[in-house]
Chain A
């Protein structure tokens, strides 16, 4: 994997050199952002190149390209944050934004300036431009292949859309605690969505995935065919779906993407900011039981090439493997520097921001439940009447009351230990700590999702991953339309 010294050189040449800046100029920039009474300041430089291709009706109908970039300057004093940003990366912009950010916050003790410490971090993905991995003709060919395969798969497929997107992102962080870090983050994704129509019913099916690697890998792994077939399969299953039951019952979640359960039921509630403010249902429960025995949940930024992985976070802290719940006991929070300092804890590499124009906060990377011992087929067999959910749309949590929801997009009835009829999408609702206490069986089949997650918090979206084995919750509320 890449050594980060070369990332710094690349980042300097891409971000600083065009505006006539070098690393020494950042010391001057920081001095504007520090000034009287500031505890900490950082400069965050970013440039992104984003490309998107959309196929409909067998033709590429949309092709778009976006370039974004700038610098965000943050000054902290105690719990106060001053923030300003600019689209320009020049000495003038650093002076203006630095003075603005530091002028905003006035109290706090001044710490002596720290010498530069270049952050050394293991690369979790290759520092490449993923857009360059395929020619435009090859990108178009992948989309057309997905269309052809989906249409050939079943006569009931009436609409196919496919998309290919990629982002090449270069960031550089320089902060008053001495941090100097750079990261080059590729991110790609391929998606297929189909409509199937039969007997007066119409249903959608969709599938997709990607990660932090080149677009060429999407082609090499033949994802166009895989996701086209998967989207068709899901649409055909949903064409046969019957009304979902309503009420409390056992729920078996499939491996992989259903790990969105962990993201909503546990993850957000363990972000440092909510716990510092005492607004999380998990606040003050460190060292206590918050899940059933056998449940171990980690936030893992180190998974190679995964969508949520980070070599360094947006404050320059190396991405880490952070245990959150170990054998049912709460053992860790996810932290950025501000909340870690105020809580007397260490940063965990979870500071993330949507862009230079947004403030960082503690966010998840890849949130994962570790494998257990159970055979997935035994888990299904153990349920007399319940639901087996294998794919989900999205979820949401109220971190204060602990209530969370996630909405199934592919699910089945379990009757007498057997998977029977597919059921229509239904929202599942529960209370985080309560639901995690009801996990009674954990499969040995831990899987990461395919790379499709976007997490929203305070209006900022960031890519995330989730993963889990097949698992059983003894009771969860299923929001179908059939109340028997």
Chain B
């Protein structure tokens, strides 16, 4: 990268800052305290129509302090990690804590749960990339896409590369540090016919730059995804089976995890309240979290409260097997933390996989959805209604592109109606899954 980033030196500096903040909090009267500090540095370039459009150098840092006076809590944060700023931040958190109410559930996670095992999960791969090299990769990506016949316009290609260090420490004496990197390349193209313009995109992303896909392949895939949308029609209104593309079925897993989150459960804001142990999916379906997977997107030995992460099984043989809990939400529910402060890490399906073409045949006549729009998911009731685009399928064969329709149901019905999962696993994000075939949803179109 164009700026030097010494991750080891940053790690040392952040550790010192965190320890300084904890010592100060104790000195000023806090009974317990926790500190998160991070620094990230990155390079982002974008090109469009063969020319450089933007080059951005970023460097973000922050320190956040939460402290407890008895069962009262106050938080403060700053982007300035100087000693003077740390002092002001601790003082502000203490001042504000005086006005919060006593909460028996508040406080650090239990000391016995703190992580003690810190394997190297291989998530830090710095990329010694110059600005010119980054520009060349983005240009190659966009050019390959624009060279495909039928592409007439471009939103450009972007490359971003970054690395960072985070430190979490608390007054149990826990100190966890982690270095990480993230690199990605994306391209968005536009095509036009007599009915109007369509755009679509493709991207590749990885912690290790060596694992990124070939830029030209990303550009060509963006072109083919764009071109296949031309001439879209509206599907009929009715009830049809729906095949969710892998990039979208991971979103369904996301809605599931949102409803299993302790914060939603103790607020009664989840359609999965009181459902522990009861059936939700077909019995062949399971879902597991693997936070210690080497080299994966969200790997970490400790959660956002220092708790040792573990392989939680959230869905087992179709039943709700575990909630997703932080120390606070666990206490509110009378349970134990599952090491999920900050969310789930690396979700993997436990299910038989069906070749994707067989899924289409199994569906027969229905809708293959490749894009969803809007936020029409109600976590309290599970009601689901979203805008969509995709393809009409007859006799297991893709017929033509479709757009400007909605798909609607309830997540309870959709999960129970999961027919099969495809073998076309998308591994780009923290949730790895293939396509999902859902038996029936209401489609509103023409």
**A residues whose Cβ falls under 8 Å from a Cβ of B:** 56, 58-70, 79-87, 100, 104-105, 136-137, 139-140, 158-159, 161, 195, 197, 201-204, 244, 246-248, 277-279, 281, 357, 359, 393-396, 398, 400-407, 424-427, 429-431, 477-483
Within 8 A of A (CB), among B374-397: 374-376, 378, 380-381, 383, 385-387, 389
Please give the distance in Å from A60's CB to the nearest CB on chain B: 5
Q: Does B376 contact A195, Cβ atoms closer than 8 Å?
A: no
Interface residues of B in 281-338 (CB under 8 A from A): none
Q: How far is the CB of B48 from chain A (nearest CB, A)?
A: 7
Query: Cα distance A196–B227 when bound, in Å?
Result: 48
* B380 nearest CB neighbor, chain A only: A204
Asked whether B404 lies within 8 Å of A430 as measured between CB atoms, the reply is yes
Q: Nearest chain B CB to A18's CB is how many angstroms away?
A: 11
Contact of A426 among B48, B78, B385 (CB under 8 A): B385
With CB as the reference atom, state the residue of chain B lying closest to A278: B153
B75 near A359 with CB under 8 A, answer no
B contact residues vs A (CB 8 Å cutoff): 2-3, 48, 51-61, 73-80, 85, 88-89, 92-93, 96-103, 106, 131, 153, 155, 190, 196-199, 232, 237-239, 267-269, 273, 373-376, 378, 380-381, 383, 385-387, 389, 403-410, 442-446
Cβ contact within 8 Å between A100 and B57: yes
Q: Could you list 30 A-B pairs, sorted by A, with CB under 8 Å?
A: A59-B101, A59-B102, A60-B100, A63-B73, A65-B77, A66-B78, A87-B80, A100-B3, A140-B99, A161-B267, A195-B267, A195-B268, A248-B446, A279-B153, A357-B58, A357-B60, A395-B374, A400-B197, A401-B196, A401-B197, A403-B387, A405-B374, A425-B383, A426-B376, A426-B408, A429-B404, A429-B405, A479-B442, A480-B444, A483-B442
Q: With A and B bound together, what is the CA distance between A278 and B155 in angstroms?
A: 9
A483 touches B376 (CB 8 A): no
Query: In the complex, A85→B60 CA distance in Å?
Result: 9
Structural contact, A401 and B403, CB atoms closer than 8 A: yes
User: With A69-B79, A79-B53 in contact, is A400–B387 under 8 Å at CB?
Assistant: no
Min Cβ gap B200→A in Å is 9
A129 to chain B, nearest CB (A): 15
- Majority DSSP secondary structure for residues of A touching B: strand
Residues of chain A within 8 A of B273, CB atoms compared: 202
- Chain B residues with CB under 8 A of A139: 99
Q: How far is the CB of B406 from chain A (nearest CB, A)?
A: 3
Q: Are A80 and B444 in contact (CB under 8 A)?
A: no
Give every chain A residue within 8 A of B51 (Cβ-Cβ).
Answer: 79-80
Q: Report B-chain residues with C-beta under 8 Å of the C-beta of A82.
A: 54-55
B60 contact set on A, CB distance < 8 A: 357
User: Smallest CB–CB gap between B154 and chain A, Å?
Assistant: 8
B75 touches A407 (CB 8 A): no
A424 to chain B: which residues have CB within 8 Å? 378, 381, 383
With most chain B CB atoms within 10 A of its CB, the pick from A139, A425, A431 is A425
Q: Are B73 and A61 in contact (CB under 8 A)?
A: yes
Residues of B within 8 A of A404 (CB): 373, 387
Q: Which residue of B lies closest to A246 (CB)?
A: B444
- Cβ distance A145 to chain B, nearest Cβ, rounded Å: 15
Q: Separation in Å of the B228 CB from the closest CB of chain A?
A: 14
Number of A-B contacts (CB under 8 A): 242
Q: Evaluate whether A429 and B96 lie within 8 angstroms (CB atoms) in the complex, with A248-B446, A359-B56 already known.
A: no
Contact of B196 among A63, A85, A402 (CB under 8 A): A402
Selected contact of B75 from candidates A65, A87, A104, A393, CB within 8 Å? A65
- The answer to whether A65 and B155 touch (CB under 8 A), given A59-B101, A427-B376, is no
Q: How distant is A446 from chain B, measured CB to nearest CB, in Å?
A: 25
- A442–chain B nearest beta-carbon distance, Å: 24
Selected from B99, B373, B404, B444, the residue in CB contact (under 8 A) with A247 is: B444
Per the bound structure, the CA–CA distance linking A9 and B199 in Å amounts to: 47
With A60-B101, A427-B374 known to touch, is A405 a contact of B386 (CB < 8 Å)? Answer: yes
Q: Which residues does chain B contribute within 8 Å of A104, judged by CB atoms?
A: 55, 57, 131
Partner of B268, one of A62, A86, A159, A357: A159
A249 to B92, CA, bound (A): 55
Could you list 14 further interchain pairs (A-B, Cβ under 8 angstroms) beyond the known A63-B97, A66-B76, A425-B385? A58-B101, A60-B99, A62-B100, A83-B57, A84-B56, A136-B98, A136-B99, A248-B446, A277-B155, A278-B190, A398-B373, A424-B381, A426-B406, A478-B406
- With both chains docked as a complex, state the minimum distance between the C-beta of B361 and any C-beta of chain A, in angstroms: 25
Contact A197 B268 (CB under 8 A): yes
- Which residues from B are CB-within-8-Å of A394? 374-375
> Bound state CA distance, A421 and B58, in angstroms?
52
Q: Which A residues are CB-close (under 8 A) to B196?
A: 281, 401-402
* Chain A hits for B153, CB < 8 A: 277-279
For the complex, give the distance between the alpha carbons of A61 and B73 in Å: 7
> Which A-chain residue is minimally distant from B270 (CB atoms)?
A202
Q: A64 touching B198 by the CB < 8 A rule? A: no
Q: Compute how far the CA of A425 lies from the CA of B78 in the bound complex, rounded to whole angstroms.
A: 39
Tell me which residues across on chain B come within 8 A of A63, comparing CB atoms.
73-75, 96-97, 99-100
Assess the B444–A479 pair: CB atoms within 8 A.
yes
Task: Give Cα distance in the complex from A401 to B198, angstroms.
Answer: 5
Q: A424 CA to B406 CA in the complex, in Å?
A: 15
Contact B269 A204, beta carbon cutoff 8 Å: yes
Q: Please, how many angstroms separate the alpha-carbon atoms of A393 and B237 in the complex?
A: 24
The residue of chain B having its C-beta at the shortest distance from the C-beta of A197 within the complex is B268
Inter-subunit contact A159/B269 (CB<8 Å): yes
* Residues in B neighbouring A481, C-beta threshold 8 A: 385, 408-410, 442
Which 9 pairs across A and B sit closest by C-beta, in order of nearness? A479-B406, A59-B101, A405-B387, A405-B374, A246-B444, A427-B376, A407-B376, A400-B199, A64-B75
Q: What residues of chain A lie closer than 8 Å to B73, measured between beta carbons?
A: 61-63
> How far apart are A192's CB and chain B's nearest CB, in angstroms?
14
Q: Which residue of A lies closest to B48 (CB)?
A: A277
**A90 vs B143: C-alpha distance in the bound complex, in angstroms?**
41
Contacts of A195 in B (CB 8 A): 267-269, 380
> B268 and A479: CB pair below 8 A?
no
A279 to B197, CA, bound (A): 8
A429 interface neighbour in B55, B237, B387, Cβ under 8 Å: B387
Name A400's closest neighbour in chain B (CB-CB): B199
What separation, in Å, do the CA atoms of A318 and B57 have in the docked complex?
29
Q: How far is the CA of A100 from the CA of B196 in the complex (A)?
A: 41
Measured CB to CB, the closest approach of chain A to B259, in angstroms, equals 12
Contact A477 B404 (CB under 8 A): yes
A86 → B minimal CB distance (Å): 7
